[in-house]
Amino acid sequence: MNKLGAVIGFTYRNKTKTKSFRWTTLVLLMLLVVGLNIPYFIQLFSGQSDKDLVRIGIASGSYQQIAEQIKEAADKTAATKPAAANNTGNAGAAEVNALRGTGVTRIEWEAEPTDAAKLRQQIEAGKLDGYLQLQKPAAGETFPSITYVSEKNNAGVQAMLQAAAQTAKVRSVTSGQLTEAQLNEIGTPVSLTRVALDDMKGTDSKSGALTMENYILVYLLLILFFISLTMTGNMIASEITAEKSSRVMEILITSVSPLTQMFGKIIGIFLVGLTQMGLYAIVFIVHLMLPYYQQVLAQFDIHISNLSWEVAVLGLVYYVLGYFLYSTLYAAVGSIVSRTEDLGQAVSLLTVLTLAAFYIGIFSMTNPDSMLMKISSYIPFFSPTTAIVRIGLGNMPWWELTISLIILVIAIFIFGWLSAKIYRTGVLMYGKRPSWKEIRKAMKAYKI
């Protein structure tokens, strides 16, 4: 046990001390920070912050009443969206007829002038962003046709104006025949959400499982699995090959049992990977906590509180188990190869296996309950990705989950045992990469 700790500590310290490791981590961290801030920068450079206040006039003509109704409707929408309303910093400017729509844009209505020609002059002078022009309705209709005149093409503003106009239209056409409550109900959009059949039958604990947040979470878990596995797997294999080619292995195997050595290495590198991922996670979470980021998320209607803990926890369980399954094999491959140059070719089979697991998971995210997925979630090499897709986005009854996990754990023991055997044999074999037959022969000869 003491020796295992020594191997883990040594592996961890040496790996994290290398320049290459520090630089890759730093560069990836910087890329992550830049990537996470791209939305903010886009906002900054497109002058969005300046645009959160849009001044709009109305050339109402003879439709004074409808113009008032549009303004009023726009105000009401603002009131029904309180979550989005408290984001912009300068709430003091929200006095006269101010409206916050999507949380980024605010509309300020200008009462004067009401003449189209004067409004146009104001736009040219830069005092106004645009104006609505109410004109004679089309044949057979009573509601005036509305034009939005502006230099800028701002879809957000147009959508808000359209919604307000729509409300005004309903009011105008029904002209007092409906109660306020009825009008409100017409105003709210129909909500349509999909609920999986299983969730209807079962308890309500999983009802939040099909959210956008979980989709993103599953996606992130798959990417995490793939990237960290290829990275750490290759680290393990190359570390072992390096020990072999530098011949320090001869001393090591006479000091520690190969099993201790192999698992010490695997756990050590696992912690290295965890450190790296932890750093990324911290940067990620800090960003999510930042106020402006909350705003961006809110824009897409994403709320962290909607994340399913079940998916997150099971995802991590599968990730750790999957890691140990693959890493023992990477260790075995590393032990067979004597020179670092031959390593790439030797691990290619494992890379293909990882890729397959990743792609089956990614491409089945829209169709998580297919037969392929059901079968794959029992195959140890694929279950870390496919099971998590099924848990997060489809249904996976608890008994299937249990069986899948048990198979995975058994596979870890079988392949761990096999890898340890190969490792013991491999570290003593030098020269060209041995074939399976040669390894089997050597195993017999060494009585392993």
Partner 1 sequence: MNPLMLDQIVKQYAGHTAVDHLSLQVEEGEIYGLLGANGAGKTTTMRMVLGLIHPDEGSIRYHGQPYRTELQAMMGYLPEERGLYPKVKISDQMLYLAQLRGMKATDARQSLDYWLQRFDAMEYREKRIEELSKGNQQKMGFVAAVIHRPKILILDEAFSGLDPVNVEMLKQVVLELRKEGTAILFSTHRMEHVEELCRHITVLRRSKPVLQGDLNEIKNSYPREKVVLRTASEIQGLDTIEGVTEVVRQDNGRYMIRIEQEQAAQQILQLAMSQGAVDQFEVKEPTLNEIFIKVVGSSHE
Does the protein bind partner 1 through residue 441 (CB under 8 A)?
yes
**Which of 1, 2, 200, 300 lies at the binding interface for partner 1 (CB under 8 A)?**
2
**Which of 188, 191, 193, 254 lies at the binding interface for partner 1 (CB under 8 A)?**
254
| Residue nearer to partner 1 on the CB measure, 165 or 336 | 336
Among residues 320, 222, 213, the alpha carbon closest in space to that of 271 is found at 320
Q: Are 416 and 255 in contact (CB under 8 A)?
A: no
**Which of 163, 183, 227, 256 lies at the binding interface for partner 1 (CB under 8 A)?**
256
Pairwise CA distance, residues 137 & 156, whole Å: 25
Identify any residues that bridge with 340 across adjacent strands, giving them in sequence order.
Answer: none
Residue 438 C-beta: closest distance to partner 1, Å: 9
Does the protein bind partner 1 through residue 243 (CB under 8 A)?
yes
| Residue nearer to partner 1 on the CB measure, 195 or 251 | 251
Stretch that binds partner 1, among 24-32, 134-142, 245-253, 332-340 (CB under 8 A): 245-253
| Residue nearer to partner 1 on the CB measure, 334 or 394 | 334
Does the protein bind partner 1 through residue 248 (CB under 8 A)?
yes
Stretch that binds partner 1, among 95-103, 135-143, 251-259, 362-370 (CB under 8 A): 251-259
Among residues 389, 382, 426, the alpha carbon closest in space to that of 407 is found at 382
Does the protein bind partner 1 through residue 257 (CB under 8 A)?
yes
The separation between CA 419 and the C-alpha centre of its own chain, rounded to angstroms, equals 34
Stretch that binds partner 1, among 154-162, 288-296, 394-402, 440-448 (CB under 8 A): 440-448
| Residue nearer to partner 1 on the CB measure, 149 or 448 | 448
| Residue nearer to partner 1 on the CB measure, 337 or 360 | 337
Tokens linked to 390: 């099924």
Pairwise CA distance, residues 242 & 248, whole Å: 9
Stretch that binds partner 1, among 1-9, 38-46, 52-60, 213-221 (CB under 8 A): 1-9
| Residue nearer to partner 1 on the CB measure, 272 or 396 | 272
Stretch that binds partner 1, among 2-10, 220-228, 386-394, 404-412 (CB under 8 A): 2-10
**Which of 86, 162, 255, 345 lies at the binding interface for partner 1 (CB under 8 A)?**
255
**Which of 7, 128, 296, 329 lies at the binding interface for partner 1 (CB under 8 A)?**
7
Does the protein bind partner 1 through residue 23 (CB under 8 A)?
no
The CA R_g of the chain, rounded to the nearest whole Å, is 31
Residue 258 C-beta: closest distance to partner 1, Å: 9
Does the protein bind partner 1 through residue 443 (CB under 8 A)?
no
| Residue nearer to partner 1 on the CB measure, 241 or 364 | 241
Specify the amino acid at residue 429: M
| Residue nearer to partner 1 on the CB measure, 391 or 429 | 429
**Which of 253, 297, 302, 401 lies at the binding interface for partner 1 (CB under 8 A)?**
253
Pairwise CA distance, residues 332 & 420, whole Å: 7
Q: Are 104 and 160 in contact (CB under 8 A)?
A: no
Stretch that binds partner 1, among 119-127, 228-236, 243-251, 300-308 (CB under 8 A): 243-251
Positions in the binding site for partner 1 (CB under 8 A): 2-3, 6-7, 10, 13-14, 18, 243, 246-248, 250-257, 428, 441, 445-447
